[in-house]
Structure 1
Amino acid sequence: MSVMGEDALVPRARSRLPVMCAAGLGFLTLAVAWLLDSDKFSERAGIIAFGLMLERFIYCICLLAEELLFHSRQRYHGRMSEIFRACFRGSGILGMCAIFLMLMLGGVSFSVEQWSHFNLMCAGYMLLNSLGVLGPAPVEISEICEAKKMNVAHGLAWSFYIGYLKFLLPALEVNVREYSRRERLSSPRLHILLPLNARVPSKPGEEDTNVVFHENLPDLKLDRAGVRKRSYTNSVYKITHNNETFSCILEYATPLLTLYQMSQESSAGFGERERKQQVLLFYRTLSQILDNSLECRNRYRLILLNDEHTGDPHYLSRELFQNLKQQDGEIFMDPTNEVHPVPEEGPVGNCNGALRATFHEEPMSDEPTLMFSRPQSLRSEPVETTDYFNPSSAMKQN
């Protein structure tokens, strides 16, 4: 009922496979066209390429008219260079001019019939593009938005990190250390819950009665955005599962509230399917951000929850139990325990499943000391070191 195979659920970033397939099919069709008519292949290929670029150039002029008439001041502050860069691609214009010059230098003359073909191609392109037939597919729009970080989930993930997790997680370690002096936590990490349906309850106990609020950690107070001593509070919860009780710091990802409320507003144009996709994209983006953050490393745990848990009132406690058990086998820096080095030499014994040295180590002095060696000559006399060497026989020979 809970999400265990996250790799099979969370979408990966799209690859360059469509571009590679299109390039491969393009070269294949060019080879077929050359085999069918190799005599006029270069001329016809140049004319068709010129016609395609001309279609795009005329459509960019239509874009230029919109930007010049209505958006030149508000969007570009009257700068013509920025308007041209927004409407035209320099490579496209240069390519069109280069192909036209090559055709002219090659002695190709455009007949009336060819210009008529150009007119029909441009007219067809404009009409089909205005009707949306040649527009980008939904997959292309999604790829552009993900590549340019233009999705709602991207902005929410970065806001959640910059405005909350980046400064909270390092400071949370101090609060956990102080709290662990009187009561031990099952995990010192902050557990962030991300339900796929984006429904975030005000209390986890509303979803599962085995998750009970215990107490709050000491408040973190910071001056933020003009507010003096703004308070940030984290809560400790007790989780009961199979007659075992665990405690951890727990909270939901608050940006998911925004996604859910957007899906309830008709003006947002945000349906249930789009909401789920944005939740998964939010999870993937936040994971990538936190994985690359040195301040947050080993101080958090993202838990993705399935929204198909009807009939199981204790799905949340079971998911938390599995995550806490999994962390028992992981190696991470526990701020409440000191790490002692294991000696490399000497007899080693096994104590409670851990390798420990059985001999006493001398404590190292904190005071610096100077160690001197006897002065030796740079030239040393040869010394006989063989086992059968006899000094008395050596004297007789001399």
Structure 2
Amino acid sequence: MAMHLIISQAWQFVASLCEFSEEITHLHSRYNGEYLRAFKASFCMRHVSIFILTCTICYIFYDEDLLPRFSCVINLTLLFLCNLLGWLCGLQGPTPATISEITEKRHLNVAHGLAWSYYVGYLKFVLPALKVSVERFNEENNNLLKSSNTCRLHLLIPLSCRIYGDLKEIDANIKFVKEIPPLYIDRAGIKGRVFKNNVYRILDEDHRPYYCIVEYATPLASLYEMSDVASAAFSKDDRIEQAKLFCRTLKDILENSLQCPNVFRLVIYDDCPKGEAYSEHLLSREILKHLKQQQSEEYDLSI
């Protein structure tokens, strides 16, 4: 059995050698011209350690007279079982170079980077200051918004990644009302950089008004435009997949952020449903659904 494990690990070693030869062609673009970094990315040191350990054990206890004579079928079966055992023990996992290549080809790093950039460059500043901004807004506008303790920024995330300058363009039941007091921060060499948020009025089916702070998650615009650029090699399916990955990543970031507790709401919706007509009031209904759910949660907590 140990001999078959050696053969299995040997094939893995040969595959890593082939991968190393491929990574050498990307030596300057990926590894800054360093052969050692390319070698480490192509080989999993755990594979090499197991291979050396198994060879050592076989060498110490090797006795040709004790080796069983198996048929070809049994040898292949044992080799398969060794590969399966190696996979279950995590010995057949992809190397760092393979993971990097998969990530690059499937654009898996795009959404992750956009979500983090959106948080560290915008949400990390705006969300913690939202309560104070809403308090100032309510003082000037007869408490138009709900309590500053429960008011949230509603981030719109359409899976199509198509966003509009004015929400009224997409849904007549949504109308811009007013800006809340802006936030000024010195950032990236810009003195007093302005961060603004808008209050919108949302009408339900009975034309009753609801007021909330709403805006699109702006990185979606980048995903949408990438699918229109041929050199980006970014298909419509890639865009939808990245939009979902962006949602999951952003949600994880915000839920684990100590600076942004209960001050956001991700409004994720499919604005390109298959097999059914597009509703002109889809967006307002989605926002209202979140507002009513939020009211229900607040009511339950107050009991």
Deviations 1:24-69 (CA, angstroms, capped at 9, x unpaired): xxxxxxxxxxxxxxxxxxxxx2222212222222232333445557
Alpha-carbon distance between aligned partners in 2 of 1:68 and 1:266, rounded to the nearest angstrom: 28
CA 1:319–1:59 in structure 2 vs 1: closer, same or farther (change >3 Å)? closer
Of 271, 274, 287, 2:238 maps to 274
Larger Rg: 1
Q: CA deviation at 1:163?
A: 0.6
- Residue 8 of structure 2 is matched in structure 1 by 52
CA 1:303–1:61 in structure 2 vs 1: closer, same or farther (change >3 Å)? same
Return the structure number with greater helix share.
2
Pair 1:181-2:139 in alignment: yes
Q: CA deviation at 1:78?
A: 4.0
- Residue 175 of structure 2 is matched in structure 1 by 212
- Residue 298 of structure 1 is matched in structure 2 by 262
Contact 2:6 2:51 (C-alpha < 8 Å) held by counterparts: yes
Alpha-carbon distance between aligned partners in 2 of 1:165 and 1:154, rounded to the nearest angstrom: 15
Alpha-carbon distance between aligned partners in 1 of 2:64 and 2:246, rounded to the nearest angstrom: 56
Q: CA deviation at 1:182?
A: 3.0
Counterpart of 1:94 in 2: which secondary structure?
helix
Alpha-carbon distance between aligned partners in 2 of 1:313 and 1:288, rounded to the nearest angstrom: 31
Can you give the 5+ residue segments of structure 1 that lack an aligned partner in the other structure? 1-44, 112-116, 122-134, 333-353, 356-398
CA 1:50–1:275 in structure 2 vs 1: closer, same or farther (change >3 Å)? same
Q: CA deviation at 1:304?
A: 0.8
Counterpart of 2:265 in 1: which secondary structure?
strand
Read off the aligned partner of 2:47 and give its amino acid letter: G
CA 1:173–1:329 in structure 2 vs 1: closer, same or farther (change >3 Å)? same
Counterpart of 1:164 in 2: which secondary structure?
helix
Can you give the 5+ residue segments of structure 2 that lack an aligned partner in the other structure? 68-74, 80-92
- Residue 82 of structure 2 is matched in structure 1 by none
Alpha-carbon distance between aligned partners in 1 of 2:168 and 2:26, rounded to the nearest angstrom: 54
- Correspondence list, 1:98-247, <5 A: 98-109=53-64, 145=103, 150-183=108-141, 184-186=144-146, 188-241=151-204, 242-247=206-211
Q: CA deviation at 1:109?
A: 5.0
Of 299, 310, 314, 2:281 maps to 314
How many residues are treated as equivalent by the alignment? 263
Q: CA deviation at 1:272?
A: 1.4
Counterpart of 1:277 in 2: which secondary structure?
helix
TM score, norm. by length of structure 1? 0.59
Deviations 1:281-339 (CA, angstroms, capped at 9, x unpaired): 1111111111111211111111112212734211222222222122222239xxxxxxx
CA 1:196–1:70 in structure 2 vs 1: closer, same or farther (change >3 Å)? closer
CA 1:90–1:315 in structure 2 vs 1: closer, same or farther (change >3 Å)? closer
CA 1:57–1:225 in structure 2 vs 1: closer, same or farther (change >3 Å)? same
Alpha-carbon distance between aligned partners in 2 of 1:154 and 1:74, rounded to the nearest angstrom: 19
Read off the aligned partner of 1:208 and give its amino acid letter: D
Read off the aligned partner of 1:300 and give its amino acid letter: F
Q: CA deviation at 1:75?
A: 1.7
Q: CA deviation at 1:220?
A: 1.2
CA 1:245–1:75 in structure 2 vs 1: closer, same or farther (change >3 Å)? same
Alpha-carbon distance between aligned partners in 1 of 2:228 and 2:29, rounded to the nearest angstrom: 36
Q: CA deviation at 1:145?
A: 4.7
Contact 1:212 1:237 (C-alpha < 8 Å) held by counterparts: yes
- Residue 253 of structure 1 is matched in structure 2 by 217
Alpha-carbon distance between aligned partners in 2 of 1:215 and 1:105, rounded to the nearest angstrom: 81
Pair 1:93-2:60 in alignment: no
TM score, norm. by length of structure 2? 0.76
Q: Which moved more, 1:102-111 or 1:84-93?
A: 102-111
Read off the aligned partner of 1:215 and give its amino acid letter: K
Contact 1:76 1:83 (C-alpha < 8 Å) held by counterparts: no
CA 1:95–1:66 in structure 2 vs 1: closer, same or farther (change >3 Å)? same
Read off the aligned partner of 2:267 and give its amino acid letter: I
Runs of 4+ in 1 over 6 A off after TM superposition: none
- Residue 71 of structure 1 is matched in structure 2 by 27
Alpha-carbon distance between aligned partners in 2 of 1:161 and 1:287, rounded to the nearest angstrom: 10
Contact 1:72 1:83 (C-alpha < 8 Å) held by counterparts: no
Alpha-carbon distance between aligned partners in 2 of 1:311 and 1:283, rounded to the nearest angstrom: 22
Read off the aligned partner of 2:199 and give its amino acid letter: V
CA 1:48–1:199 in structure 2 vs 1: closer, same or farther (change >3 Å)? same
